[in-house]
Every structure is written in structure tokens, then in C-alpha cells.
Amino acid sequence: MVRKLFGTDGVRGRANSHPMTAEMALRLGAAAGLYFRTDGQNRHRVVIGKDTRRSGYMLENALTAGLTSTGMNVLLLGPVPTPAVGYLTRSMRADLGIMISASHNPHEDNGIKFFGPDGFKLSDAAEAEIEAILAGEIAPAQPANIGRAKRIDDGLGRYVEYAKTTFSSAARLSGLRVVIDAAHGAAYRAAPDVLWELGAEVIPMGVAPDGFNINKACGSTDTAAAAELVRESGADLGICLDGDADRVMLLDETGAVADGDQIMALLAARWAAQDRLRDGTLVGTVMSNLGLERHLQGQGLRLERTQVGDRHVVARMREGGWNLGGEPSGHIVMTDYATTGDGLIAGLQFLAAMADTGQPASRLMRCFEPVPQLLENVRYSPGADPMGAETVRAIISGSEARLAGRGRILIRKSGTEPLIRVMAECEDEALLAEVVAEIVDTVRSVA
């Protein structure tokens, strides 16, 4: 079955526009309820979390109505990080977990992500089956079988306590000054609490959500304000989360940024030394820097690449039995601890390295020298097929030959916009710029 409603990470769109309307959320909740409530009994439960967007109230209520109408019992967590929903779905023996969030997008957008009873995001096949139910008549439950809904006050506290158990250093964080930027999002309470309770001196920012300021000039996609605060306060580390806290960017004591590739490089080396990195393999995506791959090879480790998207990373990790993966964008997936990317727990793992080694962040987060990378997007007209053009195929083939042994090229369609993404890496920056410019010009000529 083909998915039309579900994208690369659940259902997403502009709030109060299709498909992010109250009507669609109600029907989607009812369809998911029918999919999971297979025996007609009222013992099935679903946990629902959300970030801090104003539209979350609307979607939460609509989903609850749809789910209870088909007999599901709903447990409302309130604002919690996406990884908390994955954890609590499994911990609370729920049949389904739902996170209402558009992650790093602005407040105008929202999304709905589904987790199965194992705490992992639903498979493509499961999402397609829910879409099939949605397309037909959805029979409501009989009056005696309508589900219940209630607020769960200790869900966030459960996650906070669990996150603290993942801090792997024997030392506490006493003496470390940490800036935490929660992006006015889902971790605005959890992240500062965890760090403070582990002993850090916490300097919070992005912890005053008003429903509209999520990800606005803050968080993992805009680290400038956090970097300035790190320098002004003399902090040892900055941790920048996104709106639902499944991504992280780290800042050293000078305010310099470490992306997901640098974080993964450090964790892979530490875990390999501790004999914890399964099969000596790190799972990344096609976007991970060539420098990371070469760095791992030099240590006798391997980079397994997947398509872009944390769901693809997790799927490959589960297939291969590997326990560490992620993306340059800051999704760090550690299946020993979480079922999806967890920015806070990734930050704790980095802090553990600082506590264990006594080294500053600037030394730990420069594991390899990235190969120069250039990325440009080319917008194309509806109905056009630039990738199918003979001239485009020819220029790509010729460029790959020019970079053979010195770099690589990745050309792909965006999964969410009519864009062709042109990315190349090469130590020769002049050649890199020339190759990318030629490909971009050729794509534009047929777009």
C-alpha cells in the first residue's frame, strides 16, 4: 500500500490547513484507534504528548475525540519531548504513542507522529494501513465501549528520572557551567531540571514558551544567541535542542558549534573503547561528511549509510543490530537508551566525556576535520522531472568522474518541497565550487 498522507516523519503541515485540521486529526485518531484496538476490548491505551505550539491544544483534543470514539483510553502527557513519548509508550504498556509536533519548524506548522507499543515509530506498512482505514467508513464504538481520557501528571517526571540514569560518568556535573537552550519547546522544563539535578550550574534560555516562539531565533537551528550566552557567562558547554528535543547541537566554551557528525564521532570512539559499539559500526546517512567516514576507517570502525531521515537510521540500526547512529542535523540515536533521537541524552553523553576526561568541550568536539561541503537547492516547476533529463544525468556522471578518489556527489529530490538538493564534498574547494555550479546551472535549465 502507498502512503499519501504520511511523510518522512508522520503527518505534517500548516496548522488549520489540510492535513493539519481538527477534522483530519479526529479522523486520524479514530483510524489509529481501529488499527490498534483489534479485539474490541476497553483495555487499550494510548499516550499523547505535544510540544508548545498553540495549535497543539486543538490537535490534542481532536485526536482524543477520535481515539475515544473508537474505544481507546487516552493518557494525556502535556508538553514532553518526542523521545519521552517513545519511552513512556513502552514503559506504560500503551498500545500506541502519539507526539504532536513539527519538530524544528516554526509555530505555524504542526505534525502528528505515531509510536508502536515497542516505543519505536510506526513502520511504513503500518502507516499505510492506517491510511487505508482513514479512506473508508470508520465505525464508532458502541456507547458502552467509548474510551476514557485523563491527564497524567507524572509522565514528565518519569522521563526526567530515566534521563538521569543514562548519565554514564561516575562523576557528577558539579563545577560545570552549562547553557541549555530548549527552543521554547517541549523540553523547556525537563532539560534544565535534569542538568541541575545532576549537579551542573544551569544557565537556561528558550524556556518561556508562549505558543508562538518555538524555534524562533533559538534552538538547534539557530545557535547564535546561545553561543553569545556561552561566551558571556563563561559556560563550559552549550546544549541547543529543537522544538521537540529529538535534535541537538553542541557549543564549546568559545561558542563554536559541533554538529551531529562530530558528536557521533566522539561517542563512537568512546563506545568502541568500552567495547559497547556493536560490530564496530555507526549508522549515518548519505549526508554525513566524508571526513567522518575516513575518521572511523582510521580507527577500524565502519560507517553504514542510509537515506536521509532518522526513521531510516533507526530502521537500519534495528536490521543490523547496531546501537549508535544519527544525522549531521543533530538526531543522535542510541538504542541502548532511546527508541528515537534524544537531544538531551546525547548532551548528557557528551557531558560524561567531559567529566571523565577533564578535557574542555573544544578538544572533545573536534574529532575530525570535515571535508569541505557545498549544498545548493534548486526549485523546479510542478510536473517537471529534472533528474530524468539526459543533460542532468550527463553532468552528474561527468562530475563524479572528476571527483573520483577526492570527493563525492549527492543529488536528491527533497521529500517535502519541489527542490533538487545538490551536495558535493571535495578537499579542492575551487573544484568543489566549479562542480556544484555546473550541476546547479544544468538542473535549472530544465527545471
| Beta carbons of 171 and 355 less than 8 angstroms apart | yes
Predicted confidence at residue 43, as pLDDT, reads 78
| Beta carbons of 288 and 373 less than 8 angstroms apart | no
State the architecture of 11-153 in CATH terms.
3-Layer(aba) Sandwich (3.40)
CATH superfamily entry for domain 158-257: Alpha-D-Glucose-1,6-Bisphosphate, subunit A, domain 3 (3.40.120.10)
Predicted confidence at residue 1, as pLDDT, reads 57
User: Quick one: fold of 259-340?
Assistant: Alpha-D-Glucose-1,6-Bisphosphate; Chain A, domain 3 (3.40.120)
Helix runs in 166-258, H state only: 190-197, 224-233
Which of the residues are catalytic? 103
Predicted confidence at residue 416, as pLDDT, reads 65
- Run of H or E including 306: strand 302-306
**Sequential DSSP letters for 52-95:** S-THHHHHHHHHHHHHHHTT-EEEEEEE--HHHHHHHHHHTT-S
Q: Provide the grid cell at 386.
A: 529534472
Q: Which residues contact 278 (CB under 8 A, 6 or more apart)?
A: 321, 322, 323, 324
The one-letter code for the residue type at 1 is M
Instruction: Sort 194 into a burial class: Cβ within 10 Å, 0-12 / 13-18 / 19+.
Output: buried
Tell me, yes or no, if the pTM score tops 0.75: yes
The single residue listed with the C-alpha cell 507524572 is: 154
Each residue's pLDDT tens digit, 287-322: 999 999 999 999 999 999 999 889 999 999 999 999
Predicted confidence at residue 2, as pLDDT, reads 61
DSSP code, position 349: H
Q: Which residues pair with 302 in a beta bridge?
A: 281
Predicted confidence at residue 400, as pLDDT, reads 94
Please state the domain extents for the chain.
11-153, 158-257, 259-340, 373-446
State the architecture of 373-446 in CATH terms.
2-Layer Sandwich (3.30)
Predicted confidence at residue 94, as pLDDT, reads 96
Q: Which portions of the chain are predicted below pLDDT 70?
A: 1-3, 40-42, 415-416
Is 373-446 the same fold as 11-153?
no
Predicted confidence at residue 40, as pLDDT, reads 65
